Chains A and B, each alone.
Chain A
Amino acid sequence: MTGALSDETAQAWPTDASMADDVLVRVENLVKYFPVRGNGLVRRTVANVQAVDGVSLTIPSGKTVGLVGETGCGKSTLARCIAGLIPVTSGKVYFEGKDITNLKRRVMQPFRREIQMIFQDPYGSLNPRRRVGAIIGDPFAVHKTATGAERKRAVQDLMARVGLNPEHYNRFPAEFSGGQRQRIGVARALALRPKLIICDEPVSALDVSIQAQVLNLLADLQADFGLSYLFIAHDLEVVRHVSDSVMVMYLGRVAESGPGSQVYTKPRHPYTNALLSAAPAADPDAAASRRRIILTGDVPSPIHPPSGCRFHPRCPKAQELCSEQEPQLETKPGDPPAHLTACHFPVEAGENLADAVMRSAL
């Protein structure tokens, strides 16, 4: 039970009995459509951008769930729906067993303390005209939890905790480097001792040596505060490093999900295979011996996604069935129960998709 909620609200809350204790967040069949309006007088909705289309996931307490996928696959939209920043079209989001989908502002307030975000761009996500101390102190001001000298002390503790010099309390964001700014973002997210931090590409804008510093910091904080992370990135090695389980998204749907070790070493979905083979490895011999699966074309528009399996127009293994019937996300024969794949013709052990790509190109 969160201390943030008063007893009566807690009792009145619809709880989900099926939820295990150690699950912090459960998302059920989440759908988010953005309407595309016409030019006419009434501006009717003429189509929908199907950004997220039926995604389910669970985030266990104290664990990290990695979310990978290309630009436009809906991973950031999904994160914003979970954080309650944008209303969902349909589906449910449960936080510690309580339904927090589309709550009114005032009712949502206590949950906002529990779910925080770290954004990609350490330049864009900090107000350049405000001092660092004020930026990190904002959560205390918004939630009215600490004022005056107490707030300043709390902020300086946070700064020290994330590896910033507390004496730099009065500096502006411009006086910090990219990695240090990202630490400011982390300190701000940490201020109210949340249970879940959603990291949306937190290290994509950083150089590798600095990226490693921030990733280690996030790991330390998780160990110290028992945080859960939803970690979004397009860098597969980074996601593999931080995540306990991984979910691969394609065009608003889950292509494959499961424990990191499974998804990375025995990927079953052709898209996961292609993503993994395309990721550049800092190892020249591996790069030379590896055969990349080069996908043709771009990700289709989420306004008119392809019928059936959304990946079928780019898939080297696609057959007629793929364009007709949507594959279910399920455990394939031979996989552990936690490893789910949405594919009619999953990749078998020893199969080389690069050959299939060559054949389909002929």
Chain B
Amino acid sequence: MSLLEVTDLRVSFPTADGLVQAVRGVSFAVEPGQTLGIVGESGSGKTVLTQTLLGLTPGGQISGTAMFNGVNLVDLPHRQMERIRGAEISVIFQDPLTSLHPMYKVGWQIGEMIRAHDRSVSKAQGTERAVELLGHVGIPRPRERVHDYPHQFSGGMRQRVMIAMAISLNPKLIIADEPTTALDATVQAQILDLLLRLQQESDTALLMITHDLGVVADIADEVMVMYAGKAAEKASKRDIFYNQHHPYTKGLLESIPHSSAAGDRLKPITGQPPSLINLPPGCKFHPRCAYVMDRCLAEEPTLHAVGDAGAHRSACWLPASALGSGTPAEDLRRRTVEEGRGAGAARVARTIAAAPEAEGSVIA
């Protein structure tokens, strides 16, 4: 049995402007010791998804299940969620400066975290444990640093403090929400290395949310690409990077500047992500998709197996064998599009071609 099994999770928020459909039916599983990378652009619902797992989306209308160790996180009473949050599932946020309290010493904050879950631990024991943890995550002179305030640490060191706090109660699952986005490249490398080491030591499962495909390529085992609140594609890391099926995944990978083609024109995805209040009909990606067909305008594709193994799943109407960026696959895609494109899709395709890289819909 998986450690965490999320099934058809939906989260929406009623607002004055309408219903914001942040997560629209997402299913995935995380195994112990494995890393699932969730990739997506701003507004794709990746953060709402994980915060819902922790009961941190008050006001949201939630349906679906998230089974963690036999309990459903989605309808867990507040008290029980407090016992799980931090102890069995812990979080590392993007910005360590705003997630640490500026007026308390870091040692106190780590100790407090431990004592909140186990009142039998004394304050002195809490501090002692904090010293141990700070040493473990690679902070030099932990016995002195434990008495420092967050502002006395650099960005990378603060993120180490956050990690120390996250591992303090030996959680089974760590959710890392853009943990290295605010850090410089050399420090990011240090932090990713640390996360990998800690994961290997204790067989923790890691849910890594990021918009950086480079980070995913580094540490994920499996990858889920999200677009407009749903999974566009889910596969092993290698399949996502070398054998992708969904045009959105393909577009994301092609947008990144590559060393091999320095100076060439980049191939961005046209337009902007859709508003989560007024989603387009059919496939939510169709207004930006170079392979738009008539079917995409009317029917929303669901995640289905593509390729040979069942593990690679994609939500796109293109044939299951059109994988990767090779010529045969591209020919197959082109042929399918030719057959499947009537007047409606041709109009969308012309709009995309006429306004390359410019105006999408203005948000709000």
Q: Which residues of B contact A211 (CB under 8 A)?
A: 255, 268
Contact A237 B258 (CB under 8 A): yes
Given A171-B362, A275-B186, A298-B156, are A241 and B262 neighbors across the interface (CB < 8 Å)? yes
Q: Which residues of B contact A179 (CB under 8 A)?
A: 272
Is A58 part of the binding interface, using a Cβ–Cβ cutoff of 8 Å? no
Is A40 part of the binding interface, using a Cβ–Cβ cutoff of 8 Å? no
Q: Is the interface of A mostly helix, strand, loop or mixed?
A: helix
Q: Which residues of A contact B237 (CB under 8 A)?
A: 284
* Minimum-distance CB pairs A-B, first 8: A280-B214, A212-B268, A163-B358, A241-B257, A209-B269, A278-B189, A207-B41, A212-B266
Q: Chain A's nearest CB lies how many Å from the CB of B158?
A: 11
Is B331 part of the binding interface, using a Cβ–Cβ cutoff of 8 Å? no
Is B253 part of the binding interface, using a Cβ–Cβ cutoff of 8 Å? yes
Q: Which residues of A contact B257 (CB under 8 A)?
A: 212, 215, 237-238, 240-241
- The residue in chain A whose Cβ has the minimal distance to the Cβ of B184 is A70
Contact B214 A215 (CB under 8 A): no
Report the separation of the CA atoms of residues A352 and B211 in the bound assembly, to the nearest whole angstrom: 30
- The residue in chain A whose Cβ has the minimal distance to the Cβ of B288 is A209
Contact A240 B259 (CB under 8 A): yes
- The residue in chain A whose Cβ has the minimal distance to the Cβ of B358 is A163
Is A295 part of the binding interface, using a Cβ–Cβ cutoff of 8 Å? yes
Q: Chain B's nearest CB lies how many Å from the CB of A64?
A: 10
Is B324 part of the binding interface, using a Cβ–Cβ cutoff of 8 Å? no
Q: Which residues of A contact B265 (CB under 8 A)?
A: 216, 219
A: residues with CB less than 8 A from B are 70-71, 163-165, 168, 171, 174-180, 207-213, 215-217, 219, 234, 236-238, 240-241, 260-261, 264, 274-275, 277-287, 292, 294-295, 297-299
Cβ contacts A to B, 20 pairs, < 8 Å: A71-B155, A176-B362, A177-B272, A177-B360, A208-B255, A208-B256, A209-B252, A209-B268, A211-B255, A212-B257, A215-B257, A241-B257, A241-B263, A241-B266, A275-B186, A282-B256, A284-B242, A292-B193, A294-B186, A294-B189
Contact A163 B359 (CB under 8 A): yes
Q: Which residues of B contact A207 (CB under 8 A)?
A: 41-42, 211
Contact B186 A70 (CB under 8 A): yes
B: residues with CB less than 8 A from A are 41-42, 140, 154-157, 184-190, 192-193, 211-218, 237-238, 241-242, 251-253, 255-259, 262-263, 265-269, 272-273, 355, 357-360, 362-364
Report the separation of the CA atoms of residues A207 and B237 in the bound assembly, to the nearest whole angstrom: 20
Contact A215 B187 (CB under 8 A): no
Contact A216 B357 (CB under 8 A): yes
- The residue in chain B whose Cβ has the minimal distance to the Cβ of A160 is B358
Known: A168-B362, A280-B212. 8 other contacts (CB 8 A): A165-B362, A212-B257, A216-B265, A237-B257, A240-B257, A240-B262, A241-B263, A280-B214
Contact B189 A284 (CB under 8 A): no
Contact A275 B362 (CB under 8 A): no
Q: Which residues of A contact B358 (CB under 8 A)?
A: 163-164, 213
Q: Chain B's nearest CB lies how many Å from the CB of A109?
A: 34
- The residue in chain A whose Cβ has the minimal distance to the Cβ of B241 is A284
Given A274-B186, A280-B218, A281-B214, are A213 and B359 neighbors across the interface (CB < 8 Å)? no
Contact B215 A280 (CB under 8 A): yes
- The residue in chain A whose Cβ has the minimal distance to the Cβ of B258 is A237
Q: Chain B's nearest CB lies how many Å from the CB of A263?
A: 12
Partner of A275, one of B185, B216, B259: B185
Q: Chain B's nearest CB lies how many Å from the CB of A163?
A: 3
Q: Which residues of B contact A299 (CB under 8 A)?
A: 154
Report the separation of the CA atoms of residues A241 and B141 in the bound assembly, to the nearest whole angstrom: 41
